[in-house]
Amino acid sequence: MGSADERRQAVLRAIVADYIASQEPVGSKSLVERHNMGVSSATIRNDMAVLEQQGYISQTHASSGRIPTEAGYRAFVDALHDVKPLSSAERHAILDFLENGVDLEDVLRRSVQLLAQLSNQAAVVQLPTLSVSRVKHCEVVELAPTRLLLVLITDAGRVDQRNVDLAAPIDQDGVRLLRDLLNEVLVGKTMRDASAALARVSTKAPPHLADPAARAAEVLITTLVDATPDRLIIAGSSNLVVPSGGLQGVIDALEQQVVVLKLLAGAQELEQVSVRIGHENEDEEFSRASIVTTAYGSGDEALGGLGVVGPTHMDYPGTMQKVATVARYISRILRGE
């Protein structure tokens, strides 16, 4: 690569960085004053003209400076080999805040609140689904003589509760036997893997427990296997409110679960941060936004996606690092570290 190409890359990085900081068009004079380019303003103007021809920057009107295009932001992000790490104080504050969560859902809720605050954008996280997490334990609690509470706990820390209405009362010994029977079928399996065994669980139960076992299995299958929705937590949508109203479509789209799930669909690999800029997003609602996502999980398995949604002029290095750090700490908590 020639020195002219290297210098133009440096000019592009400087334009993007300055525009992100000020949201004002960047001129050649300010680049010379703020950055040690080692060349004249005339040379910088020539470089800017080439970058404009290449589609990396644009000029709003003849006398103004330049602003980055989507292609310019993409080139900037692709050139980020080393993202500046957070300080030890920042990392400690994040981990301390997340570790105080009472369960996984609370940890994830804290995560999006924290990301929204740190990035000043909107943040979203997907709760682990039962299709990927495995059952750790199923507790059976007597609520009334003919009503039971099933509490399903997964290895990812997800807790689901369902009520079961019985045709006749069940004693404490029956409750314990039913709990053991359900755990024999469920523990170590995903709900989808256990569905066939659940359908036959009543045939394995003692005669007096056949009906309670069948009712418990039916509730688990119909409410957790056949109708398990992906659950999302979103925070910071109000951060996207700007005077121009340009991101109102993004705010409206964030209220649609299916659309948000599509945003997180690409977050399948741990330790990999994905950035989609403007029209790289499939949905038109996000054509004026950028989305930074990654996955969190336990061991080598991704359990859900985590991300930040903001304007295309977001602070990419800072946002990428914050998203990666929070996801890494969620994974550590899941591993019990």
Q: Which fold has domain 3-79?
A: Arc Repressor Mutant, subunit A (1.10.10)
How large a percentage of the chain has pLDDT more than 90? 32
Two tokens at 81?
A: 């080999």
Taking a C-beta distance cutoff of 8 angstroms, is the pair 277, 70 a contact? Answer: yes
More confident residue, 257 or 30: 30
Q: What is the pLDDT of residue 250?
A: 81
Two tokens at 4?
A: 């002219």
How high does pLDDT run on average in the chain?
A: 85
Two tokens at 26?
A: 């960047």
Taking a C-beta distance cutoff of 8 angstroms, is the pair 325, 264 a contact? Answer: no
pLDDT at 198 over 60: yes
Q: Hey, how many other C-beta atoms are within 10 angstroms of the C-beta on 189?
A: 14
Q: Hey, how many other C-beta atoms are within 10 angstroms of the C-beta on 298?
A: 22
Window from 99-113, 122-136, 280-294 with minimum mean pLDDT? 122-136
For residue 126, how many C-alpha atoms fall within 13 Å in the half-sphere facing its CB? 30
Two tokens at 329?
A: 């700490």
Q: Give the separation between CA 31 and CA 14, rounded to whole angstroms.
A: 7
Q: What is the pLDDT of residue 1?
A: 41
State the pLDDT confidence band at 246, using cuts at 50, 70 and 90. low
For tokens 């690409």, name the residue: 266
Q: Enter the pTM of the model.
A: 0.75
Report residue 277: phi and psi, to 5°. Answer: -115, 125
Average pLDDT for 253-258: 76
Considering the segment(s) 134-225 as one domain, its CATH architecture is 2-Layer Sandwich (3.30)
Two tokens at 261?
A: 């799930």
* Domain 88-128+230-335 = CATH 2.40.160.20: no
pLDDT at 129 over 70: no
Taking a C-beta distance cutoff of 8 angstroms, is the pair 332, 157 a contact? Answer: no
Residue 202 to residues 125, 172, 183, 321, Cα–Cα distance (Å): 37, 18, 14, 51
pLDDT at 60 over 70: yes
Residue 142 falls in which region: left (phi positive, over 0), alpha (psi -120 to 50) or beta: beta
Q: Give the separation between CA 87 and CA 111, rounded to whole angstroms.
A: 18
pLDDT at 165 over 90: yes
Taking a C-beta distance cutoff of 8 angstroms, is the pair 42, 32 a contact? Answer: no
How large a percentage of the chain has pLDDT more than 70? 93
- Domain positions in the chain: 3-79, 88-128+230-335, 134-225
Per-residue pLDDT tens digits for 166-185: 999 999 999 999 999 999 98
